[in-house]
Amino acid sequence: MNKQILLVSRPVGEPSDDNFRLVETPIPEPGEGQVLVRNLWLSLDPYMRGRMSDQKSYAAPQPLGQVMIGGTASEVVDSRHPGFQPGDTVVGTFGWQQYALFDGSQRGVRRVDATRVPLSAYLGAVGMPGVTAWYGLVKLIDPKPGQTVVVSAASGAVGSVVGQVARLRGARAVGIAGGAEKCRHVVETLGFDACIDHRAHADTASLASALEAACPEGIDGDFENVGGRVLDAIMRCINPFGRIAVCGMIAGYNGEPIPLADPQRILTQQLRVQGFIVGEHLDVWPEALDELGSLVATGRLVRHESVAEGLENAPAAFFGLLQGRNLGKQLVKL
Amino acid sequence: MNKQILLVSRPVGEPSDDNFRLVETPIPEPGEGQVLVRNLWLSLDPYMRGRMSDQKSYAAPQPLGQVMIGGTASEVVDSRHPGFQPGDTVVGTFGWQQYALFDGSQRGVRRVDATRVPLSAYLGAVGMPGVTAWYGLVKLIDPKPGQTVVVSAASGAVGSVVGQVARLRGARAVGIAGGAEKCRHVVETLGFDACIDHRAHADTASLASALEAACPEGIDGDFENVGGRVLDAIMRCINPFGRIAVCGMIAGYNGEPIPLADPQRILTQQLRVQGFIVGEHLDVWPEALDELGSLVATGRLVRHESVAEGLENAPAAFFGLLQGRNLGKQLVKL
């Protein structure tokens, strides 16, 4: 049987178990031209929170009653398409389930080499989160050697890549994360220059003081994953001509928009603030994946994963991700 | 004697007459290499409000006890520099006074041809406000034919140029202005496609509804002069990949920062929000002034001026500008 998790209702405020339902259906059989995969890894990502809502957004909401959307790394178990053989490893968007069928000629399924880097890396540093980090850092912030880049959610799948790639390009990397353990990890394991525990600062002013201390030359680039108070504090410390790549505003995902305290800084500091969705920039994926793949394969980019075991534990792991309980890339091993 | 207006104190909240003092000093005599001008026109501009404060900003504050900063159009009355003759017309930053000396070899004084366009135009559409409009529209918003550009403070020196140049480039121009008279002027005299009276809308939602009606295809570019509620409403209607050129946030000039209600839209709509100060982009001035000069000389760009008579009336005219009582470029005829 194929275990699947469906989205059955939309959250009011924080999502909960009630929004999901675990079902079992027969494992489908591939028709002519189709391929059957067994999903080995499910990726959990903050964007999923947006899809649970039906607010107008850049992507259509996840329909109710259907398998929850999600990136997967999978093994081909049966194929009636000449391009795929059993044992092939592929990355696709097969959702929160154990098995899936796809049409072998469709786009959006990528064959990957699980001997170069571990298969799960294709859902993290060598996948969508990695390209997200790369695009915002390289294409939007474009740090010069010696400049300072700040990234929030620094211990996460995206933030961890942002800071490491910034350092590899000669910039100073300062992380912001929630909790002393995460900050230690960001500095000691990932090699950031500094990391600030935002939980240790009760208000914007206190957080801004900590940023000033960690960024004696000011902030030139901000890779923004959080928004709210964290962004307000960064804007107090940002240098003229600073760049803010807006990747996430997780602080506002539960419905209430969180205002930006002082947008006049955009004018007075001549900032460029740019929101982006990495799926809209497919042209950069090959270049980004090539660089990221090399960095992981040669050990210059440190990866860290939080792994939940079994599909039934995906909702709890997802809630943990939204609350920042994971360290590094949050995966479910199926 | 030379009448001068000095800044003598910094405003707390709205500026007032107490912040200025009118004095008379002897008309200076030019030394070797110096030029004496009589200022014929003084430009009043919103940026002056920022200079009155000593808050950290992109420009140093105006020092107390000195002649208030301001752009001027002047006639040379005496010259001991071979590059200038009595009767020459020049544009410079000679401040709120009737006469001024300058070193003939200094940069920042531009000789202008008052037969091609009227001298006062060099303080408006063919000067700093015009280049400001041109830079934000052409370099940051870069509207495609058929796209919709919104500009706040649409009847002002900058806004009036933004909308007219947008239309000349094939875009649809929608203004926002305060009061029915201004809106009529923006549509009937300046030729915008529509203009919304923000005073007729009590809240963001009402203003957003009016924008939706005036922009049936959504908003692709916003030239932002105001901030606050106006910007919040625009952000509700802006299309994916919209560009916001942040030129002014006059709503926040009196000290209290005005928050941006829903910055998450920057992410979900993949916006590019860019603050700019036109003085930092001197490379574009020649191209912009060339285009704007041609448009004014050939009558394709409509100019409108509000003129106060006499230096002693400059403060009141300036307060009127900050409160939006002017129509078009606010000048003082000296």
Rounded-to-integer distance, Cα A129 and Cα A321, Å: 14
Report the run of H or E that residue A41 belongs to, with start and end.
Answer: strand A34-43
Residue A202 touches chain B, beta carbons under 8 Å: no
DSSP state of A144: P
Contacts of A242 in chain B (CB under 8 A): none
pTM comes to: 0.91
Residue A248 touches chain B, beta carbons under 8 Å: yes
DSSP characters over A242-285:
EEEEE---GGGTTSSPPPBS-THHHHHTT-EEEE--GGG-GGGH
Contacts of B46 in chain A (CB under 8 A): none
Rounded-to-integer distance, Cα B46 and Cα B302, Å: 21
Q: What's the Cα-to-Cα distance from A29 to each of A72, A80, A97, A332, rounded to whole Å?
A: 19, 10, 15, 24
User: In angstroms, what separates the C-alpha of B126 from chain A's closest C-alpha?
Assistant: 23
Nearest to B57 among A248, A252, A268 (CB): A268
Structural domains in chain A, sorted by start = 2-124+303-333 (3.90.180.10), 128-279 (3.40.50.720)
Residue A239 touches chain B, beta carbons under 8 Å: no
CA atoms within 13 A on the CB side of B38: 10
Tokens 């990397």 found at? A173
Query: Best of A234, A267, A269, A278 to disrupt the B interface by mutation (most B CBs within 10 Å)?
Result: A267
Residue B261 touches chain A, beta carbons under 8 Å: yes
Average pLDDT, chain A: 95
Contacts of A264 in chain B (CB under 8 A): 227, 249, 252, 257-258
The predicted model gives A220-225 an average pLDDT of: 97
Residue B264 touches chain A, beta carbons under 8 Å: yes
Query: Are B240 and A272 inside 8 Å of each other by CB?
Result: no
**Model confidence over B202-233: pLDDT tens digits?**
999 999 999 999 999 999 999 999 999 999 99
Residue A231 touches chain B, beta carbons under 8 Å: yes
Amino acid A139: pLDDT: 98
User: In angstroms, what separates the C-alpha of B243 from chain A's closest C-alpha?
Assistant: 9
Instruction: Check whether B254 has a pLDDT greater than 80.
Output: no
User: Which of these ranges, B98-102, B165-169, B320-324, has the smallest mean pLDDT?
Assistant: B320-324
Nearest to B240 among A58, A246, A259 (CB): A58
Please report, as a single letter, which amino acid is at residue A60. Answer: A
Report the run of H or E that residue A90 belongs to, with start and end.
Answer: strand A89-92
Give the torsion sign (CA, A226, A228, A233, A235). positive
β-pairing, A305-309 with A329-333?
A: parallel
At B13, the pLDDT band (50, 70, 90 cuts) reads confident
At B255, the pLDDT band (50, 70, 90 cuts) reads low
The predicted model gives B14-43 an average pLDDT of: 97
Residue A246 touches chain B, beta carbons under 8 Å: yes
The predicted model gives B110-126 an average pLDDT of: 95
Residue B272 touches chain A, beta carbons under 8 Å: yes
CB-based burial, B58-69: b 16+ in 10 Å, e otherwise:
eeebbeeeebbb
Contacts of A248 in chain B (CB under 8 A): 267
Which conformational region is residue B68 in: left (phi greater than 0), alpha (psi within -120 to 50 degrees), or beta?
beta
Beta bridge partners of B66: B7
Rounded-to-integer distance, Cα B186 and Cα B158, Å: 12
Residues in chain B: 334
Residue A22 touches chain B, beta carbons under 8 Å: no
Amino acid A54: pLDDT: 86
Amino acid A253: pLDDT: 59
What token pair was written down for A195?
């990391």
Rounded-to-integer distance, Cα A285 and Cα B118, Å: 54
CB-based burial, A219-242: b 16+ in 10 Å, e otherwise:
bbbbbbbbbbbbbbbbbbbbbeeb
**Model confidence over A115-167: pLDDT tens digits?**
999 999 999 999 999 999 999 999 999 999 999 999 999 999 999 999 999 99
**Model confidence over A67-88: pLDDT tens digits?**
999 999 999 999 999 999 999 9
| Other beta carbons within 10 Å of B11 | 16
Nearest to B257 among A227, A258, A262 (CB): A262
Amino acid A57: pLDDT: 66
Amino acid A59: pLDDT: 74
User: In angstroms, what separates the C-alpha of B253 from chain A's closest C-alpha?
Assistant: 9
Nearest to A57 among B231, B268, B274 (CB): B268
Beta bridge partners of B35: B79, B102
Instruction: Check whether B287 has a pLDDT greater than 70.
Output: yes
Residue A255 touches chain B, beta carbons under 8 Å: no
Amino acid B59: pLDDT: 74
Rounded-to-integer distance, Cα A305 and Cα A285, Å: 22
Rounded-to-integer distance, Cα A21 and Cα A11, Å: 13
Instruction: Check whether B35 has a pLDDT greater than 80.
Output: yes
Burial class (CB in 10 A: 0-12, 13-18, 19+), A2: middle
User: Is the Cβ–Cβ distance between B314 and B44 less than 8 Å?
Assistant: yes
Residue A274 touches chain B, beta carbons under 8 Å: yes
> Percentage of chain A surpassing pLDDT 90?
88
Instruction: Check whether A27 has a pLDDT greater than 70.
Output: yes
| Other beta carbons within 10 Å of A24 | 10
Instruction: Check whether A56 has a pLDDT greater than 90.
Output: no
Give the torsion sign (CA, A87, A93, A94, A95). positive
Amino acid B50: pLDDT: 87
Query: Are B269 and A58 inside 8 Å of each other by CB?
Result: yes
Query: Are A248 and B269 inside 8 Å of each other by CB?
Result: no
β-pairing, A20-25 with A34-43?
A: unpaired
Instruction: Check whether A171 has a pLDDT greater than 80.
Output: yes
Burial class (CB in 10 A: 0-12, 13-18, 19+), A319: middle
Instruction: Check whether B129 has a pLDDT greater than 90.
Output: yes
The full 3-state SS of chain B, as one line of letters, equals CEEEEEECCCCCCCCCHHHEEEEEECCCCCCCCEEEEEEEEEECCCHHHHHHCCCCCCCCCCCCCEECCCCEEEEEEEECCCCCCCCCEEEECCCCECEEEEECCCCCCEECCCCCCCHHHHHCCCCHHHHHHHHHHHHHHCCCCCCEEEEECCCECCHHHHHHHHHHCCCEEEEEECCHHHHHHHHHHCCCCEEEEHHHCCCHHHHHHHHHHHCCCCEEEEEECCCHHHHHHHHHHEEEEEEEEECCCHHHCCCCCCCECCCHHHHHCCCEEEECCHHHCHHHHHHHHHHHHHHHHCCCCCCCEEEEECHHHHHHHHHHHHCCCCCEEEEEEC
Contacts of A227 in chain B (CB under 8 A): 263-264
User: Is the Cβ–Cβ distance between A84 and A104 less than 8 Å?
Assistant: yes
Beta bridge partners of A110: A91
Query: Are B247 and A260 inside 8 Å of each other by CB?
Result: no
Residue A266 touches chain B, beta carbons under 8 Å: yes
